[in-house]
């Protein structure tokens, strides 16, 4: 049975579920794999389209805007030395690195450098990054993530002493932007392949687990409806009954950037499983 036929029929056609039940063997796992293959390919193509569209629009509308922002940041970076797990710099502290804001808006503080101990926590500043004498603190929604200079120095003997300033920052920006402009298709291909492989494996495994669990609900529903139904038949029905909630969830995510709530997804799965078992029951009634 073609996955292209199964998707629409799984929403409304009782005879479809009777056909699925009447198959001599199989748990519907190959169907789930084909469904994952189709949907993951569409998801990957959509994500790459959005990324490529964003990059193209940025290049067409304001090719230098991103560079301007990056170089604005680089200009503010003072000479820094990381040695023996400690940050050293000769600027007056606390030293801030800011991003220029639009008119009538305050500048955004990107980072604060303070090795004197005046500022020791992100709670003491609204900056995204805080560079203290021994560590870097990065703001996150649930607190702060900490990176230690000592870990950087210990990672490689060549990194025992690191020097960085605005000139090096500008060189890094220049090389990076040049590489991105020359290798955008390679970058997109790498991103696409990664998304495709990871999502395919993840979705397939998750949907198998869901089908096995939903198959148990199918047995319970069959008991309530007084319908003879073996467990492996129930799992097979579950694999196809999962199609509507899966398609709705992915479609909603693509449309508004927010998937179906877990509770709604479960209800949909159970409802369509009930529909599948009820459809099978009609075969015995007829």
Average pLDDT, the chain: 89
User: Taking the CA of residue 172 as centre, how many other CA atoms within 13 Å lie in the half-sphere pointing to its CB?
Assistant: 11
Q: Are strands 86-88 and 80-83 parallel, antiparallel or unpaired?
A: antiparallel
User: Could you tell me which residue, 232 or 65, shows the higher pLDDT?
Assistant: 232
Q: What is the DSSP letter of 229?
A: -
Q: What is the pLDDT of residue 286?
A: 56
User: Could you tell me which residue, 141 or 94, shows the higher pLDDT?
Assistant: 94
Q: Is the dihedral of CA 66, 69, 75, 79 positive or negative?
A: negative
Mean pLDDT for the stretch of residues 179-200: 87
Report the number of secondary-structure helices (H) and strands (E) in the chain.
10, 8
Percent of the chain with pLDDT over 90: 65
- Residue 225 scores a pLDDT above 80: yes
Mean pLDDT for the stretch of residues 248-276: 92
Q: Is the dihedral of CA 83, 84, 87, 89 positive or negative?
A: negative
All residues at 6 or more sequence positions from 4 whose CB lies less than 8 Å from its CB, including other chains: 38
Say how far apart CA 279 and CA 282 lie, in whole Å. 5
Longest dimension (CA), the chain: 88
Q: H or E stretch including 105? A: none
Confidence of residue 101 (pLDDT cuts 50, 70, 90): low
- Residue 72 scores a pLDDT above 50: yes
All residues at 6 or more sequence positions from 20 whose CB lies less than 8 Å from its CB, including other chains: 1, 28, 236, 237, 240, 276
Is 230 strand, coil or helix? coil
Q: What is the DSSP letter of 159?
A: G
Q: What is the pLDDT of residue 106?
A: 67
Mean pLDDT for the stretch of residues 166-183: 86
Confidence of residue 54 (pLDDT cuts 50, 70, 90): low
Mean pLDDT for the stretch of residues 36-65: 76
Confidence of residue 103 (pLDDT cuts 50, 70, 90): low
Q: What is the pLDDT of residue 61?
A: 43
User: Could you tell me which residue, 13 or 56, shows the higher pLDDT?
Assistant: 13
User: Could you tell me which residue, 100 or 104, shows the higher pLDDT?
Assistant: 100
Mean pLDDT for the stretch of residues 216-233: 93
Note the pTM of the prediction, 2 decimals.
0.65
Lowest mean pLDDT among 63-72, 132-141, 260-269: 63-72
């Amino acid at each position: 049975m073609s996955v292209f036929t199964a998707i629409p029929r799984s929403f409304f056609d009782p005879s479809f579920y009777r056909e699925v039940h009447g198959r001599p063997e199989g748990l519907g796992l190959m169907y789930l794999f084909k469904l994952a293959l189709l949907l993951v390919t569409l998801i990957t193509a959509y994500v790459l389209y959005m990324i490529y569209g964003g990059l193209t629009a940025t290049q067409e509308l304001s090719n230098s805007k991103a560079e301007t922002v990056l170089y604005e940041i680089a200009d503010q970076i003072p000479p820094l030395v990381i040695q023996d797990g400690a940050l050293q710099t000769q600027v007056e502290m606390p030293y801030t690195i800011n991003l220029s804001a639009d008119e009538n808006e305050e500048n955004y503080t990107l980072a604060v450098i303070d090795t004197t101990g005046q500022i020791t926590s992100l709670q003491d500043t609204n900056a995204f990054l805080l560079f203290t004498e021994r560590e870097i603190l990065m703001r996150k929604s649930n607190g702060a993530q900490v990176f230690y200079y000592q870990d950087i120095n210990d990672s490689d003997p060549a990194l025992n002493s690191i020097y960085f300033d605005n000139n090096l920052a500008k060189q890094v920006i220049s090389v990076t932007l040049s590489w991105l402009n020359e290798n955008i298709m390679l970058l997109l291909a790498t991103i696409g392949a990664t998304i495709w492989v990871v999502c395919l494996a993840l979705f397939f495994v998750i949907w198998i687990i869901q089908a096995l669990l939903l198959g148990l609900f199918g047995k319970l529903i069959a008991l309530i409806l007084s319908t003879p139904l073996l467990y492996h038949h129930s799992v097979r029905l579950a694999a196809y009954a999962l199609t509507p909630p899966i398609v709705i969830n992915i479609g909603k995510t693509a449309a508004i950037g927010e998937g179906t709530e877990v509770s709604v997804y479960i209800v949909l799965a159970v409802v369509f499983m009930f529909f599948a078992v009820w459809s099978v029951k009609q075969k015995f009634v007829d």
